[in-house]
Amino acid sequence: MRALTASRRARKRPPEHGRVAPQPCSTSAAARAPLPVPAPRLVLGARNLKSVSVSLTPVSGDASTPDGQMVEGSTAEAVDQAAFREAIAHFATGVTVITTRLGDQRAGMTASAVASLSLDPVLLLVCINNRLPAHEAIESSRCFVVNVLGEGQEELAMQFARPAEDKFASVALKEEHELPVLADAIAFFVCDVHERFPGGDHSIFTGLVRACGAVPGKRPLVYFRSAFGA
């Protein structure tokens, strides 16, 4: 019996799959060349979700409800993009600014495709367009900050949504953090990149939260049907 038990203990455990060890945050200037300025493009709110590919089982008949007609898309393999954009715009979201630093270069963008993911370990996720400079910066630095915006901060949201040479102009930062944490954010989450997954024309970054904070009593900025609210 003792020999059998020892033999079982000696067996090699099977390797775990689907996990990638987090890489250390890098802000080295040699890691990447200076970041390019993107072509004019508004990356904001629920539109961050609009390009997700959705597969459907073919159905027959009209889609309707007792309350009236619904906007209909294709009932083939994928819905019509315009119908999806219209539908997903009815999903109210918060508004955040995603920031990072790569050497002396800072990058930032406005996004609403952000969600809590796990408590053990503490993870959140962000979805970022593959063509944006912020995507390249986060992929290279392996770290980022989610800055949650509050009521009345529409202009700050638009500042980081528009292309510009320096999106951080006149923006106050918390000096105690190495990464750009917006001083006026109602909450923030400093993260290391845990994993990255492909998501069509976006990447899904999961972030291991290293630090966070919030200002009690503040109301969030909300994005709904292509407009800000609170």
For range 13-28, the mean pLDDT = 51
Q: Which residues contact 126 (CB under 8 A, 6 or more apart)?
A: 96, 98, 111, 113, 114, 144, 146, 204, 205, 207
Q: Which residues contact 168 (CB under 8 A, 6 or more apart)?
A: 106, 108, 180
For range 47-60, the mean pLDDT = 36
In this predicted model, what pLDDT tens digit does every residue of 175-200 receive, in sequence order? 999 999 999 999 999 999 999 999 99
Neighbours of 178 (CB within 10 A): 12
For range 38-48, the mean pLDDT = 42
Q: Give the pLDDT confidence score for residue 223 in this predicted structure.
A: 95
Which 3 state secondary structure label does DSSP give 193? Answer: strand
Residue 52 banded pLDDT, cuts 50, 70, 90: very low
The CATH code of the domain at 40-48+92-229 is 2.30.110.10
E strands present in the chain: 64-65, 68-69, 93-94, 96-102, 105-111, 114-119, 122-129, 143-148, 187-199, 202-214, 222-224, 227-229
Highest average pLDDT, of 43-52, 78-87, 89-98, comes from 89-98
pTM, entire model: 0.70
Q: Longest Cα pair distance anywhere in the chain, in angstroms?
A: 73
Domain ranges in the chain are 40-48+92-229
